Structure 1
Amino acid sequence: MNKSELLAPVSDYASFHQGLKAGADAFYFGGKSFGARAYAENLNNLEIKDMVSKAHIFNKKTYATVNTIVFEKEIDEVIEFLDFLYLAGVDGVIVQDLGIVNIILQRYPGLELHASTQMNVRTVKEAKELKKTGFKRIVLPRELSIEEIKNIKDNVDIELEVFIHGALCVSFSGNCLFSSFHGGRSGNRGKCAQPCRQLYQVDENIESYAISPKELNTTAHIKALLDLGITSLKIEGRMKSEDYIYKTTSIYRNIIDNVLLDKVVDYEKFNKDLAILFNRKFTKGFLFNEKNEDFINRESSNHLGVLIGTIISVDRNYISFKTSEDLYFEDGLRILGDDLDAIVINQLEVDGNMVHEAKKNSIVKIRSHYNHNIGSEIYLTSTGRYLIEAKNKEISKINIKGRLYLEDDCLHLQLDDGQNIVTEKSEKVEEGRNANFLERIKEQVLKINDTNYRYLELVMDIEKKIFLPIKDINLLRRNAILKLEEIRENKYPNRKIKDLNYKNKRFNRHPTNLIIKCLTKEQIEASILLGMEDIIVERATLYKYYQEKYPEINFYYYNSRVEEEQDFPNLITNSLGNVKNQVSSWYLNTCNSYALDFLNKYQVKEIGLSTELSFDDIKEMTESFKKRNDNLPNLLMYAYGRVELMLMKYCPLNKESNLLNKGCSLCLDKQHYLKKDGNNYPLIRDKFCHMRILNYQIIDLSNHLQELEEIGVNSFLIDFTIENENEVKEIIEKFNLSLKENITSKDIYLGHLYNKVL
């Protein structure tokens, strides 16, 4: 069984110290920009530098999240931040943007490159490609099963990081555009508005939290991950409080250590503590093949807490109940009833006496905000006892061995931490008269309680009597500790930043064209009748059939975001595993000129641009690229269609129908919708029985093709999903006309073209 790294989140500087006390092996954190938790407190540069130094002193690792997509005008700023991180000594950087990958590989030798879960790396082939590219680690998507992870582990020599606790996304990792297109806050830029946590209707069913997942909890399954040899076990929580980070890390530290020693683990106690800290109910997740019906909490999307009692008496705004948990002054409670009452205990009465603490099974009396009924349930939602526990916990000291000896009439102190050996010497000693003074020297050198170290042993290799002033002995001790500290914190003393270097390239660009993506046979037939020469097909059987029947037409197979890499001659792909000499998808999130450079190394025939780019973003990107190259590669832009807001392993139709197994084919009987605020989001399944949520608004850039062509776009994607044959014909005819002349369509939706995403 392997000892895996326990990786703790850092929400602010205080939470880092709590994670250190709790026994984390490594920490992941964000700066004030470019991290996927933009609304966390995060760290300023001074705090980052201090945190990295302290982490290294304690032999812990630090990983910076620079895992948003980055627009062209932000490139200089992100390079400045990466420069700082590199020289500050961070061990690794977690990224998703291919342009940032490109920059890191060239500019920062020796910096560990970790593929963010947002990159959605889920296949052996893509993992091998990332290893070849220069990645050290992959943060695996939370939708992968333990069996799928084992397949990657067995076939690719690369570090793997797995989420073991915390919030889950209902969408496949890196595949959510819901917040971006409804709220203007991009999850890919760390500003998700969490639309999945809101109320929806599925068709005409009662309103519920239909796509809000429970919290991941793998306490009972840690042994399986250790047995598999997962490099890093990751706790989600950069938006959480310091007591959450301390206690959750402590619990998993305890479980990991006890499992490794084959000791008994008190899972019941640990899970109660975890539930008090934060829960929307718990799930073992798709990681351990959770059933569809047990993945979502339809009743609530907020923290539930733990039931600790029911009201047994009411006296105006005072209630009494028997508590099943210890209660403390300033604990948080939620009382369910006609009025949902959230209170912080500021008066706590037991047996007529005001107290600061009430033991479990006590009858307690507290003040509430509303009148409540006897029998109303009371939940504990927060407690101060975890911070009290953290306050009384010390950071584990670093073990060292010491040796005192004489050389050249100077007293020498040698310290050995098992990795480094340092030696410090004093001024020349004098001849001593008192043999007991050697014990006084040892006594002074042992005084390191106010440092980060503790002696396993201190050997005295001195045989003659000597004398040295106490102040000089103390100085010797302090200087030796300081020298060891400096070596430990300065982990990468020889780092040097390299200049970016790009060779001028020239590309063969094809004439401006339309590319039609079809879901149904009727859509394909209509597109062929209208003379379309580039058609994307989602199903392999249809692709093979039409490719053979119409060899003069360029048919492309759409290699979806969650399927194994295919090897058809013409592909639209979302994976680096088979992007070479193919067309990269618009969902691969190409957002800047350095990402264009990166994909050009794969000789990509055509590069799909992110649907989150504005006109100005594209213009700035193409202008920057042309400054380094003779011209542009072929650029494909999403010009028409219902953008796929989410792609989910979870099926809300199956859940709403109370079915126990997927594969029910409910989605085939009629068109189903997710509904909110009068808007109907079409639900359609993909070829693997995954559920797709489409935008209710249809992007239509037909009025703007010529101005987009002027800034470098030369392919326009028309994405058909639920359109009928007549709608297909009408739309293609309109876009064909718009390639020839400016047209004006009224009341059309432009997506982010002139509505820049945050």
Structure 2
Amino acid sequence: MYKIPELLAPAGTLESIRAAINGGADAVYFGGKAFNARRNAGNMDEMEITEAVALCRQYGVKVYVTLNILIKDEEFEDLVHYLNFLAGLGIDGLIVQDPGLIFLLQKYFPKFRLQTSTQGSVYGLEGTLFFEKLGFMRVVLPREMPISEADMIAGQTRVEVKLFCHGALCYAYSGQCLMSSMIGGRSGNRGLCAQPCRKKYQLRDADKHLIKEGYLLSMKDLNIKDRLNEVAQAGIDSLKIEGRMKSPEYVYAVTRAYREALDAVDEKRKTPSITEKELAQVFNRSFTEGRLFSDPQVIGDVVGRNRGTLAGHIIGCESGRLLIEALPDTVFSVGDGLSFGEGSEMGMRIDALFDLKGRPLTAEKPGIKVKVPSRFKVPVDTPVYRNHDARLTRRLKRASRTAEPAGQQPVRFRLRLALGKPTEVTAEAGEQVVTRVSDITPTAAQKLPLTCEMLSGQFERLGDTGYQFGGLDADIEPGIFLSKGELNALRREIVEALDAEQKEEKPVPVVFSLSHELPVKREVQKPLLSLEPVGRADFEALCGLAVDELVLPVQDLSRPQDCERPIACAHECGKRVMLAFPRIMDTAASARLKAHLEDFFGLHHDGILIKNYEVLNLFQNRPVYKEADQPFNLLNALAMKQLKEWQVDGGVLSPELSAAEAAGLAKRSAISCVLPVYGRQEIMVSANCVYNCADKQCEGCQRYQGWAALTDERGASFPLRKDIDNIIHIYNGDVLLLKEELKRQKHIDKWRIYATDEGSEELENVVSYYRNALDKGAFGPMPGRAGVRYTKGNFKRGVE
């Protein structure tokens, strides 16, 4: 299915909106001052958003607003006010991730067209089908997905699919990163990621031997401009440029480069106005075509910031000045930003330029040797990178503000004219079609009868209406006549009708009450004690522990029979057993599970622990206890209500909740609430191998499986595990341990212990600690081991 996709550009400000329009965007996405995943971007207030929507309408550019963060219960009142405002603007869609927000929108604001955010964590076909069933207009596919899988999904679903095409990549699966949250309380799921993945780390094995060091989690920037023909062949509906925190000049340059590349694919060839080097110059951490096109080099462990482009090299250093020889195509200018060496950790701004004799340069020339003032020395032969090009920025600034717009919205007219009969006029502008029957009636022509050319001559005079003439079809009875004044009146009448159709009546504001929607539930007298191990090893040994429930990880989706003995063993010991399928399930994995679904359903387990929308879609209509795990990011009580609508019976509360927030959520939860009380909290899960071996023999790789550790520049250590599917799991260095504060959690149905790297004796002590608290009301001595620090995580402070 060949299709030229919509080009979707980012915008953090009104200036970026204009830059995107001038760059040739088909659509833009932006957020308001709150409730979006780039809270540190400029963003726009309600007045600016109104102006932005009007501007986009004038040029036929679609508008999608981001509401793609997790919402706290106390924020819903302000959120409803914001949604009432957006409902009156006639925007083209909302981008969302929070299940609670999805519930609110579909029940109270059903006219909004919804798209999933990348934070929503859809991994493959089954997840896409889940949101298709919900009535979403579009699903964004993960940046870890190959184009062949995206092609297949586009061909097997009715919902639109979107891919990222350019910009920053996250090391972790989007929506599944808690690293910034756990380190400093700044949640990526709430739009305040501090980007700890862009820092330096050391990777050490279980014996603390250094394996490698550098920017081990820092991804290169995505750039698939040269692969757009394959994207079109795959039938992708939308291509998304990342960059709401970037400058208007960046937005213009990238949008223009992709517009011209897409036009070339569509055989509308023009000479490119943005060169490859200029595209790299505006921002890059080195480019990759990503996992979308199976590029093995997606991690840029040498540099963690914008390095720009290679511009020359150092040829000398003397008395506060650096001598630089520019590359043949490079012209240095005052105001340029430079960085030195492959790591680009040291840099400066050019405040003055001199020739080799120390005279100020009066003419800028390519490829020459120059002197620049510098407060530090740089070794000879060090490569010089330019990370800010002052001349290019000035050019892009002019173009982003004054370049020829992408064009006003085209309108096509159809007329039916007959002697003595009212004239019928139809106007089509995008998806809007209006028809009017006018009182103006043709008379018999005395001299010049009416023709299509005469009609077109008057109807193309659209002036500043916001429309451009897109053509005219007319059914004209021979020998009739209308004056120019009458034709102009017909044009004005139909354009006004089209405007009225596009300016929909503002909806009646929604009044919402969380307490009315969610009544208080009864207190829980004694929660169950559950334990989830990180793997299957020694599962049967866990059956002897004093817990009420065990979670059994399913590792081979093609062998349900492997679960029979562990389930039987647990049941013999009086334990409930929950099956847990892998956290990450692409289309192939989901297909394996689907092929054996009846067998897994027929096992004598007590429920399914669901970690993604793929498994939810497969088990949604099955009569079995279903529990949504931490990856669903359950931060508000409406999310629990939505899960109930999705036939889910329980949910694990987000580890980003404070104690008070958890208590408030559980008090109004429509389903059972599970609270993590102990264990190493998983803060990243990634398909990008941190070992990043030089030979890239990744297929079927068995190297480095097991435990290792990342150490940051402050000395903090983060345990790391590579599983049998070569997925990387990174854990918080401090172990979660909740105790006395649990007594104030009156509505929690289940406590969960996470077992990772504990020894058998230590794990037994942990279970006894919580068993005593449940059975006797007292915790007793705290379990502990040498060298391990304990934390309440976000339970004490919450997140911003």
- 1:576-626 superposed Cα distances (whole Å, 9 cap, x missing partner): 32463411112211111111111112332322111111111122223445x
Q: Which residue of 1 aligns with 2:584?
A: 562
Give me the whole-angstrom Cα distance separating, in 1, the residues matched to 2:553 and 2:272: 49
Matched, 1:300 2:300: no
Q: Which residue of 1 aligns with 2:554?
A: 539
Q: Rate the CA distance shift 1:34–1:324 in 2: closer, same or farther, 3 A.
A: farther
Give me the whole-angstrom Cα distance separating, in 2, the residues matched to 1:533 and 1:624: 25
Secondary structure of residue in 1 paired with 2:647: coil
Give me the whole-angstrom Cα distance separating, in 1, the residues matched to 2:426 and 2:352: 55
Matched, 1:645 2:683: yes
Q: 1:285 aligns with which of 282, 290, 295?
A: 290
Q: Which residue of 2 aligns with 1:512?
A: 527
Matching residue's letter, 1:695? N
* Deviation of the 1:273 alpha carbon: 1.9
Matching residue's letter, 2:760? E
- 1:282-319 superposed Cα distances (whole Å, 9 cap, x missing partner): 1111111221xx11111110101111223456665364
Maintained 8 Å contact 1:167/1:216:
yes
Secondary structure of residue in 1 paired with 2:664: helix
Fraction of identical pairs, as percent = 27
Secondary structure of residue in 2 paired with 1:309: strand
Give me the whole-angstrom Cα distance separating, in 2, the residues matched to 1:222 and 1:386: 24
- Compute the TM-score of the two structures, normalised by the length of structure 1: 0.85
Q: 2:237 aligns with which of 220, 231, 237?
A: 231
1:275-674 matches, within 5 Å, as 275-291=280-296, 294-312=297-315, 316-317=320-321, 319=323, 321-325=325-329, 327=331, 329=333, 331-336=335-340, 340-344=346-350, 347=353, 354-355=361-362, 358-362=364-368, 366-372=372-378, 374-382=380-388, 383-384=392-393, 385-395=395-405, 396-399=407-410, 452-455=466-469, 483=496, 486-487=499-500, 490=503, 492-493=504-505, 495-496=507-508, 511-520=526-535, 524-540=539-555, 543-552=563-572, 553-563=575-585, 564-565=589-590, 566=593, 567=597, 568=600, 569=605, 570-575=607-612, 576-578=616-618, 580=620, 581-625=625-669, 633-655=671-693, 660-661=697-698, 663-668=700-705, 671-674=708-711
Q: Rate the CA distance shift 1:266–1:48 in 2: closer, same or farther, 3 A.
A: closer
* Deviation of the 1:512 alpha carbon: 1.5
Q: Rate the CA distance shift 1:314–1:605 in 2: closer, same or farther, 3 A.
A: closer
Q: Rate the CA distance shift 1:263–1:660 in 2: closer, same or farther, 3 A.
A: farther
Q: Rate the CA distance shift 1:687–1:578 in 2: closer, same or farther, 3 A.
A: farther
Q: Rate the CA distance shift 1:244–1:727 in 2: closer, same or farther, 3 A.
A: same
* Deviation of the 1:156 alpha carbon: 2.1
Maintained 8 Å contact 1:651/1:662:
no
Q: 2:267 aligns with which of 261, 268, 273?
A: 261
- 1:54-84 superposed Cα distances (whole Å, 9 cap, x missing partner): 2123222111111111111111111211221
- 1:26-66 superposed Cα distances (whole Å, 9 cap, x missing partner): 11111111101111111111111111122123222111111
- 1:635-681 superposed Cα distances (whole Å, 9 cap, x missing partner): 101111101111111122353x7653354433347645445522221
* Deviation of the 1:413 alpha carbon: 12
129-138 or 712-721: which moved more? 129-138
Q: Which residue of 2 aligns with 1:186?
A: 187
Question: Can you give the 5+ residue segments of structure 2 that lack an aligned partner in the other structure?
Answer: 205-209, 441-447, 449-455, 557-561, 783-788
Matching residue's letter, 1:555? V
Q: Rate the CA distance shift 1:528–1:465 in 2: closer, same or farther, 3 A.
A: closer
Matched, 1:216 2:222: yes
Taking only aligned residues, the RMSD between alpha carbons, in angstroms, comes to 4.2
Secondary structure of residue in 1 paired with 2:543: helix
Maintained 8 Å contact 1:558/1:572:
yes
* Deviation of the 1:206 alpha carbon: 4.8
Q: How many residues align?
A: 733
Q: Rate the CA distance shift 1:421–1:95 in 2: closer, same or farther, 3 A.
A: closer
- 1:480-537 superposed Cα distances (whole Å, 9 cap, x missing partner): 79837844852x4464556669598989979511111123556534431224331012
Q: Which residue of 2 aligns with 1:692?
A: 729
Q: Which residue of 1 aligns with 2:92?
A: 91
Q: 1:743 aligns with which of 774, 779, 782?
A: 779
Q: Rate the CA distance shift 1:547–1:318 in 2: closer, same or farther, 3 A.
A: closer
575-584 or 43-52: which moved more? 575-584
Give me the whole-angstrom Cα distance separating, in 2, the residues matched to 1:701 and 1:547: 29
* Deviation of the 1:730 alpha carbon: 0.9
Q: Which residue of 2 aligns with 1:107?
A: 108
Give me the whole-angstrom Cα distance separating, in 1, the residues matched to 2:565 and 2:191: 42
Secondary structure of residue in 2 paired with 1:706: helix
- 1:138-172 superposed Cα distances (whole Å, 9 cap, x missing partner): 11111112232233223222111110111001111
Q: Rate the CA distance shift 1:521–1:250 in 2: closer, same or farther, 3 A.
A: closer
Q: Rate the CA distance shift 1:346–1:63 in 2: closer, same or farther, 3 A.
A: farther
Give me the whole-angstrom Cα distance separating, in 1, the residues matched to 2:167 and 2:674: 37
Q: Which residue of 2 aligns with 1:18?
A: 19
Q: 2:248 aligns with which of 242, 245, 249?
A: 242
Matching residue's letter, 1:561? R
Matching residue's letter, 1:608? V
Maintained 8 Å contact 1:53/1:489:
no
Maintained 8 Å contact 1:637/1:713:
yes
Q: Which residue of 2 aligns with 1:195?
A: 196
Q: Rate the CA distance shift 1:522–1:139 in 2: closer, same or farther, 3 A.
A: closer
Q: Rate the CA distance shift 1:96–1:458 in 2: closer, same or farther, 3 A.
A: closer
Matched, 1:701 2:715: no
Maintained 8 Å contact 1:523/1:724:
no
Give me the whole-angstrom Cα distance separating, in 2, the residues matched to 1:485 and 1:311: 63
Give me the whole-angstrom Cα distance separating, in 2, the residues matched to 1:125 and 1:467: 59
* Deviation of the 1:443 alpha carbon: 11
Q: Which residue of 1 aligns with 2:794?
A: 752
Give me the whole-angstrom Cα distance separating, in 1, the residues matched to 2:565 and 2:437: 79
448-457 or 161-170: which moved more? 448-457
Matched, 1:33 2:43: no
Q: Rate the CA distance shift 1:231–1:265 in 2: closer, same or farther, 3 A.
A: farther
Maintained 8 Å contact 1:543/1:555:
no
Q: Rate the CA distance shift 1:726–1:494 in 2: closer, same or farther, 3 A.
A: same
Q: Rate the CA distance shift 1:99–1:359 in 2: closer, same or farther, 3 A.
A: same
243-252 or 315-324: which moved more? 315-324
Q: Rate the CA distance shift 1:458–1:345 in 2: closer, same or farther, 3 A.
A: farther
Maintained 8 Å contact 1:106/1:498:
no
Maintained 8 Å contact 2:18/2:401:
no
Give me the whole-angstrom Cα distance separating, in 1, the residues matched to 2:482 and 2:27: 47
Question: Can you give the 5+ residue segments of structure 1 that lack an aligned partner in the other structure?
Answer: 428-434, 436-441, 626-631
Give me the whole-angstrom Cα distance separating, in 2, the residues matched to 1:255 and 1:420: 31
Give me the whole-angstrom Cα distance separating, in 2, the residues matched to 1:339 and 1:515: 48
Maintained 8 Å contact 1:259/1:265:
no
- 1:550-600 superposed Cα distances (whole Å, 9 cap, x missing partner): 434322221222024544352111233246341111221111111111111
Secondary structure of residue in 2 paired with 1:752: helix
Maintained 8 Å contact 1:654/1:662:
no
Secondary structure of residue in 2 paired with 1:272: helix
